[in-house]
Amino acid sequence: MVRALLLAFAGYALLAATTITMTSDGRDHATVWPADAVVLALLLLMPRRHWPMLLAAGWLGNLLGNALTRDWSFGIVLYGAINMGQTFLAATLIDRHDASRGLLSDGRATLRFLLMAGLLAPAMGALLGSMVSLASYGEPFIPSFLRWYTSNALGFLIGAPFFKAVFDGSYWACLREKSPSGRFEGFALLVLHASVLAVVFCQSTLPILFLPMSSLLLLAFRLGKLGAVAGVIMVAAAGATAGYFDVGPVVLIRHSPAIQAVFFQVYLGTILCTALPVAAVVSSLAEAHNRLTEQRLVLQQILSQSPDGVLTFDMAGTCRWADGRLSEQLGLDSASLVGKSLDELSEMTSDRLADLIASALETGDEAIGADFEPVGHPGTILEASVGVLETDGARSGVVATLRDITKRKQRETAMVRMVETDDLTGVLNRKGFRSHLAPAIVRHDGPLVLALIDVDHFKMVNDQYGHSVGDEVLKEIAARLSAGSRSTDLVGRLGGDEFAILFRCDLPTARKACERIAAAIRNQPVYRHGKLGVLASISCGLAEYREGMTRGELFDAADMALYDVKRTGRDGVSTASDTPVRLA
């Protein structure tokens, strides 16, 4: 706190005395008044409970600076009170949130700062200060008002951001954060700006006041708000110094010093209103870039720990970003996917994924999902979900999220197989057979033949050899049924000694298969233990699916054919439209 009070007092006195000496005749107002900016910067940095002491220290500094440079009058006391009053008003009007983030942190903060510190506060001070000038020194009210207003507004706008950045350590922090090359670049740009100012203000023959704008904008673009504020301070100091020594482009204006001062104020105001918005925009972009960089790093860290892979596409179907577990999922490096079209993606990954993304781009549907097997990782099952990206209410692309669900699918398949599989024989149980039969009928794209099979006189096997042997017989018969059919056919145990086969072939082919199976069962014992060998036979009834048949009608037709075999002595094969065929 003591340091802040010393800064308020000594800094105010020094700046006040310097600016009065260099830009005023001791009676009128200075061209630029940055002394109030010192106190304003301290007020914005310190708690409100310290404001009265800081304002008092600034007032004392004002009295000292005026006493050293002006003839003593009671108006000097009033000047100090008015200066501190307008400084207090500016600090109160500036949003504290904007002050904590930075006076020029973004467009909103910059606009608030320009309105409060550049318009309202100095206007109120100019009104009161001009009255004091009229009463104390006989200065005309209107010229005095304009000179007070412009000098104090420029002082606030130029000085407050600079002093606040100095006092809160922003310049030193910026210097520490930069790399050696960045520090060299900043120093070189400041030297370049100073060199341009020296060329412009050390001569009085060429009206080249436009030149500092180029180097100032370069500072704003490369160094942001801190560079722009420092650059404007340097312009103000160079112009004031040139005016004190009566040199520089301003003296080319063949009018009174008052007109020259007004011109220089307008000049400073112009470059200030150009540089500060540019600096605010640059700072906003830099902060936005830093936030995006941080968010990208966070997202990459999240994705590195996540099981997902992520792809984004623009409306043209071109991949713009790829990250996450894509290398493990697709067998492709993320960078190799960026820039690829949907056609290229289809060849590299899966037609299913490309079609999914194309559909989302065309329809704008949210949360589409599908499973697919990537080209580069056969045996892997990925689940893709696609969401729509929007910018300003309009679709701008889609994001596809991929997750490896191979293990989940394997567990689901195992659970389904467990529910649908007969515990004893390992073929489909009644529920499983019927659940596979229904979709096969619905989407049949070729002939289908249902075979219903009974083990002949199986009760006698159980009665003679026991149920344990009977179970072994059923297991062996199921194995021979499976061996005699193709992998695309369905084999099931409907219950007890009843079996069924759904052949995906025509009726003659299915019949021959059943005859071979029946012969294989009849000719070789279906159970052996030592000298014991158990023989068995089967009866088969076949029916071919016809367009329009229901599942019940197909079963009834096959059952009628099976009944015909049983009725005529068993151990044979019969079709729904044939007479039984005996197998000797």
Please tell me which residue, 558 or 301, carries the higher pLDDT value: 558
Q: Using the predicted structure, report yes or no on whether residue 98 has a pLDDT greater than 60.
A: no
Q: Using the predicted structure, report yes or no on whether residue 584 has a pLDDT greater than 50.
A: no
pLDDT in the model for residue 29: 63
For residue 305, give every residue at least 6 positions away whose Cβ sits within 8 Å of its Cβ, in sequence order, or none. none
For residue 1, give every residue at least 6 positions away whose Cβ sits within 8 Å of its Cβ, in sequence order, or none. 46, 50, 53
User: 309 forms bridges with which residues in the sheet?
Assistant: 324, 402
Please tell me which residue, 434 or 33, carries the higher pLDDT value: 434
Q: Using the predicted structure, report yes or no on whether residue 439 has a pLDDT greater than 80.
A: yes
pLDDT in the model for residue 258: 66
Average pLDDT over the chain reads: 84
pLDDT in the model for residue 27: 57
Whether the pTM exceeds 0.85: the reply is: no
Please tell me which residue, 130 or 486, carries the higher pLDDT value: 486
246 is a catalytic site residue: no
CATH code, residues 307-408: 3.30.450.20
Label residue 583 by pLDDT band (50, 70, 90). very low
Distance of CA 568 to the CA centre of its chain: 76
Label residue 559 by pLDDT band (50, 70, 90). very high
Please tell me which residue, 495 or 275, carries the higher pLDDT value: 495
Which of the listed ranges 133-147, 389-403, 505-519 does the model predict with the highest average pLDDT? 505-519
Q: Token digits for 349?
A: 């990954």
pLDDT in the model for residue 451: 95
pLDDT in the model for residue 516: 94
pLDDT in the model for residue 366: 64
Label residue 100 by pLDDT band (50, 70, 90). low
Label residue 575 by pLDDT band (50, 70, 90). very high
Q: Using the predicted structure, report yes or no on whether residue 156 has a pLDDT greater than 90.
A: no
Alpha-carbon span 462 to 36, nearest angstrom: 111
Residues comprising the chain, all counted: 584
Q: What is the mean pLDDT of residues 157-182?
A: 85
The CATH fold of domain 421-582: Alpha-Beta Plaits (3.30.70)
Alpha-carbon span 409 to 407, nearest angstrom: 5
Q: Using the predicted structure, report yes or no on whether residue 368 has a pLDDT greater than 70.
A: no
Q: pLDDT for 21-46, tens place per residue? A: 877 665 556 777 888 888 988 888 88
Which of the listed ranges 9-23, 104-118, 281-295, 551-565 does the model predict with the highest average pLDDT? 551-565
Q: Using the predicted structure, report yes or no on whether residue 359 has a pLDDT greater than 60.
A: yes
Q: pLDDT for 499-535, tens place per residue? A: 999 999 999 999 999 999 999 999 999 998 888 889 9
Q: What is the mean pLDDT of residues 376-380?
A: 78
CA proximity to 22, closest of 305, 323, 237, 272: 237
What element of type H or E holds 572?
strand 572-575
Label residue 101 by pLDDT band (50, 70, 90). low
Alpha-carbon span 343 to 118, nearest angstrom: 59
Q: What is the mean pLDDT of residues 177-205?
A: 90
Q: Using the predicted structure, report yes or no on whether residue 352 has a pLDDT greater than 80.
A: yes
364: left (phi over 0), alpha (psi -120 to 50) or beta: left
Q: What is the mean pLDDT of residues 138-148?
A: 80
The DSSP result for 438-501, as a single string, is: HHHHHT--S--EEEEEEETTHHHHHHHH-HHHHHHHHHHHHHHHHHTS-TTSEEEEEETTEEEE
pLDDT in the model for residue 582: 45
Q: Using the predicted structure, report yes or no on whether residue 243 has a pLDDT greater than 50.
A: yes
Q: Which residue has the tokens 């990250």?
A: 323
Q: Using the predicted structure, report yes or no on whether residue 211 has a pLDDT greater than 60.
A: yes
Identify the active-site residue in 404, 456, 497, 571: 497
| Spatial contact of 263 and 209, defined as CB atoms under 8 Å apart | no
Please tell me which residue, 90 or 31, carries the higher pLDDT value: 90
| Spatial contact of 37 and 58, defined as CB atoms under 8 Å apart | no
Label residue 479 by pLDDT band (50, 70, 90). very high
Determine what percent of the chain is predicted with pLDDT higher than 90: 23
The DSSP result for 350-413, as a single string, is: -HHHHHHHHHHHHH--SSEEEEE--TTSTT--EEEEEEEEEETTEEEEEEEEEEE-HHHHHHHH
Q: What is the mean pLDDT of residues 381-385?
A: 86
For residue 91, give every residue at least 6 positions away whose Cβ sits within 8 Å of its Cβ, in sequence order, or none. 40, 43, 44, 51
